[in-house]
Amino acid sequence: MALPLFLPCAAGVEAWLAEEVQRVLPAAQVHTGRGGVGVDGDPIDVMALNLESRLAQRVLAEVASGPYQSEDDVYALARSVDWQQWITPEHTLRVDTTAHRSPLRSLNFAALRVKDAVCDLLREATGERPSVDTQQPDLQIVLHLGETHASLYVDTSGESLFKRGWREDKGDAPLKETLAAAMLAAAGWRGTPEEGGALHDPCCGSGTIAIEAAQIACGIAPGLKRRFAFERLLPFADADMRAQWQRLKSHAQSRIHASAVPIFASDVAFRMVDFARRNAQRAGVEPCIQFNGGDALERPAPPLPDGLRGTLMINPPYGERIDVAGKAARPSAQDRATPDDFFPRLSAHWKRAYTQHPAGWTAWVLSPDMKLPSSMRLKESRRVPMWNGPIECRLFRFDLVAGSAR
Ligand SMILES: C[S@@+](CC[C@H](N)C(=O)[O-])C[C@H]1O[C@@H](n2cnc3c(N)ncnc32)[C@H](O)[C@@H]1O
pLDDT in tens, 345-354: 999 999 999 9
Pick the atom of ligand 1 nearest to 171's CA.
9
* Confidence tier at 171 by pLDDT (50, 70, 90): confident
Dihedrals φ, ψ of 114, to 5°? -65, -45
pTM here is 0.93
- Which of 267, 273, 349, 395 for mutating ligand 1's site (highest number of atoms within 8 Å of CB)? 267
User: How confident is the model over 233-241, as a mean pLDDT?
Assistant: 97
Nearest to 386 by CA among 395, 399, 377, 397: 395
Does the beta carbon of 177 lie inside 6 Å of ligand 1?
A: no
Distance (Å, whole) CA 134 – CA 271: 36
Distance (Å, whole) CA 242 – CA 248: 10
Neighbouring residues of 293: CB distance < 8 A, sequence distance ≥ 6: 266, 267, 268, 269, 270, 273
Nearest to 47 by CA among 204, 247, 189, 239: 247
Provide CATH code, domain 3-155.
3.30.2130.30
16 Cα to the center of ligand 1, angstroms: 26
- Which of 164, 203, 338, 393 for mutating ligand 1's site (highest number of atoms within 8 Å of CB)? 203
Query: How far is it between the farthest Cα atoms of the chain?
Result: 81
Q: Looking at residue 402, what is its pLDDT?
A: 65
* Cα-based torsion angle of the residue sequence 316, 317, 318, 323 in order, rounded to the nearest 10 degrees: -170
Domain range list for the chain: 3-155, 177-220+257-400
Distance (Å, whole) CA 228 – CA 157: 5
**Which fold is adopted by the domain 177-220+257-400?**
Rossmann fold (3.40.50)
The DSSP bridge partners found for residue 142 are 96, 153
The protein residue with its alpha carbon nearest to ligand 1, atom 5, reads 205
53 Cα to the center of ligand 1, angstroms: 26
Q: Looking at residue 333, what is its pLDDT?
A: 36
* Confidence tier at 319 by pLDDT (50, 70, 90): low
Does the beta carbon of 317 lie inside 6 Å of ligand 1?
A: yes
Q: What is the tens place of the pLDDT at every residue in 241-251?
A: 999 999 999 99
323 Cα to the center of ligand 1, angstroms: 8
272 Cα to the center of ligand 1, angstroms: 8
The protein residue with its alpha carbon nearest to ligand 1, atom 1, reads 317
The protein residue with its alpha carbon nearest to ligand 1, atom 19, reads 326
